[in-house]
Amino acid sequence: MKSNYLIPLILHSIVIMTIQVLLLINFVIPVGGKFSLTIYLYPLIIMILPLNLPKVGQLLTAFLLGLLIDIFYQSLGVHTSALLFATFLRPFFLRIFEPRGGYRIDQVPTSKNFGMSWFLSYCSLFLFIHLLMYFIADAFSMVYLLKILANTLLSFIASFIVINLYQLIIRI
């Protein structure tokens, strides 16, 4: 891992986790009585992990991050399972959006390095899969398919906006 990116990554992770567990944990907006909108900023930590971090390191980071979120949200592994699933698919997502010249091994997947259009595509796929798996695991039944899809879509839109605003404001 590129050493000059390690300290900023840790600092961003602390800021993101603080925002998530102190501010966004209680930010749940009921929509139409059956659905809800929640904002999840923490998947950004996994999205911006360096490209040269081994898969085991990515999965271990996702596991620990998900576990920490589950402790604060008291959600018994729901965040962990969704984050692990999205992290497992991360190399596939990166391959889908690989630039023509390819990636340099020491790069970090951010809008600053690859452009806003690239990051919006990558972020949308990663975040949508993460949230879909989260709401499926949370419902634990496909009987609630409409609720799963509605909550996924509502939370995706809100989380997507907040993640990209964070990236624009902080310039990671």
- Tens-digit pLDDT profile for residues 35-54: 889 999 999 999 999 999 99
pLDDT of residue 73: 93
Nearest to 159, CA basis, from 26, 24, 59: 24
Strands 35-38 and 28-31: antiparallel
Q: Is 165 helix (H, G, I), strand (E, B) or coil?
A: helix
**For 70-134, what is the HEC assignment?**
HHHHCCCCHHHHHHHHHHHHHHHHHHHCCCCCCCCCCCCCCHHHHCHHHHHHHHHHHHHHHHHHH
- Tens-digit pLDDT profile for residues 110-161: 888 888 999 999 999 999 999 999 999 999 887 889 999 999 999 999 999 9
Nearest to 22, CA basis, from 10, 8, 39, 37: 39
What average pLDDT does the segment 94-118 reach?
Answer: 87
pLDDT of residue 3: 57
Which class for 118: exposed (0-12), middle (13-18), buried (19 or more C-beta within 10 A)?
middle
pLDDT of residue 129: 98
Instruction: Count how many domains the chain has.
Output: 1
Rounded to two decimals, the pTM is: 0.91
What average pLDDT does the segment 100-118 reach?
Answer: 86
Domain coverage including residue 161: 3-170
pLDDT of residue 140: 83
- Tens-digit pLDDT profile for residues 73-89: 999 899 999 999 999 99
- Tens-digit pLDDT profile for residues 14-31: 999 999 999 999 888 888
Token pair for residue 132? Answer: 């879909």
